[in-house]
Chains A and B, each alone.
Chain A
Amino acid sequence: MAKVCFKNGRISAIVTTVGDRKVNIDDEKDRFGLDEKSLKRLKKTIGLESRYVVSEGICTSDLCFQSAKSIFKNKNLDKNEIEALIFVTQSPDFRAPSTAIIMQDRLGLSKDTLAYDINLGCSGFIYGLFTAYSFIASGLKKVLLLVGDVASSYTGKFDKTLTPLLGDAGSAILLENVEGLKSYFVLHSDGSGYQHLIIPGGACRKPYSRLHGNKGEISENGIAADETSMYMNGGEIFNFSIKVVPELFSELFELSGADEHNIDYFVLHQPNKYILKNIQKRLGLNEDTIPSRTASVFGNQNSASIPGTINGFLYDEFSNSRLRNVFAGFGIGLSWGACYLETDSIYAPRVEKLNKDVLDRSI
């Protein structure tokens, strides 16, 4: 079991950019074939309201670009001090090469920067953060972490089981080498559940060339029939989530010695309000400490959901206070992880929508 304590490193900025188009579930009910009664129930139980998605052609890297640019502008940063760039996504610009490498050039970082992608979703922020802290532990000065997904690029247009849940977002996080600030991580993987949340087609097992052109088609139960779209077995993923998170927290508290009653915020991955409320109840947490509105307003933002929650709902608190935080991500893989760390008045502005004018190569 991967359990790690880092002695150095500090998060000094978290910025999130969401898609430029807001869509309301009420306007999408015909597309997903939902009648009034099911719509009402989905809104009440799952908390479906709206989500932010990108216009056609916009990639995760574009959302992250705007977020990173905001950090550079506001942190008065010497870009040459950034020695590593990590990009966590399931929607890269290309199958190859790693988008992180393209971003090194696009963001004007030095050619001495190490850069590569990590393919993870819901647990991705925790893993990306872990990687960034590891780099700091190996002596690097500053690490830029980019996380997020344009899920609208890989979910079936008419798939009512998954598409209405997901929103597009890209975050940038800056980590600096500061001594004497501890952080704790607990990380897990279970590949036996890989088939429960998956984009089966388009890579080596089922290459595009072998797939037929059934884009947009829907199977009997309303799931995307097209195998280059994402598929989710909701029951298995729900069951997994409500089981692993409580266990993850007890491991984290045992490792860090932190007292769960002294945590200011439990910022969890935000699949939907229903799962979060369930976890909150199970753990007996005060609902003010565990935000759960992100998916209802922005959609499930995959690896950007934790920064997306901070920039979406807790920007004042993170900008102005010293906080003890637990972050936890869980999902596709199956993969899950949590960390305990403190932040102190970081640069964490309110979430912004994508501004397409920002997308030139200069910075």
Chain B
Amino acid sequence: MNKAEFLDMIREVMDREEELKEEMLLEDVEEYDSLAALSLMAMFDEYGIDVSPKTFEELKTVRDLVDLAMRGIINEG
């Protein structure tokens, strides 16, 4: 999938209607709570990307999620 499709997918996972921008801070994304983090962790794991909960806690921005996804979910360019 491409980056835009990935962003749509994580919006769906966190149950968010508004758009997500890469530069957004995760702490400013209202829907990004511990449950959303778990769901995303499970999603990454399904794509074979092994992320520890500790790494996840250290993510700062939506771009950090995108960077993780480059390891096997996003294929573009």
Contact = CB atoms under 8 A, between A and B. Distances in A.
Interface string A268-297: 000000100010001000000000000000
How many chain A residues sit at the interface, stated as a range, is 10 to 19
A233 B53 contact: yes
A243 B38 CA distance: 13
A235 interface: yes
B53 A239 contact: yes
Interface residues of B, number: 15
B39 A239 contact: no
B5 interface: no
Contacts of A234: 34, 38
Interface in B6-23: 15
Contact of B57 (A46, A161, A235, A282): A235
A239 B35 contact: no
Main SS of the interface on chain A? helix
B35 A41 contact: yes
Nearest to A221: B34
Given A236-B53, A239-B52, A239-B53, A42 B38 contact: no
A238 B15 contact: no
A41 B15 contact: yes
A235 B35 contact: no
Nearest to A236: B53
Given A234-B34, A235-B34, A242-B45, A45 B39 contact: yes
A193 B68 CA distance: 25
Nearest to B37: A235
B41 interface: yes
Contacts, number: 33
A282 B39 CA distance: 14
B40 to A, nearest CB: 11
Contacts of B37: 235
A235 B56 contact: yes
Contacts of A46: 35
B54 to A, nearest CB: 8
A233 to B, nearest CB: 7
Contacts of B52: 239
Interface string A1-43: 0000000000000000000000000000000000000100110
Interface string B24-35: 000000000111
A173 B20 CA distance: 52
Nearest to B52: A239
A327 to B, nearest CB: 24
B53 A235 contact: yes
B72 to A, nearest CB: 16
Contacts of B39: 45
Of B35, B41, B45, most buried by chain A (CB within 10 Å of CB) is B35
Contacts of A243: 45
A238 B45 CA distance: 12
Interface of B: 15, 33-35, 37-39, 41-42, 45-46, 52-53, 56-57
11 contacts: A42-B35, A45-B39, A46-B35, A161-B34, A233-B53, A235-B57, A236-B53, A238-B42, A238-B53, A242-B45, A274-B38
Given A41-B15, A234-B34, A235-B34, 15 more contacts: A42-B35, A46-B35, A233-B53, A234-B38, A235-B38, A235-B53, A236-B53, A238-B38, A238-B41, A238-B42, A238-B53, A239-B41, A274-B38, A278-B42, A282-B46
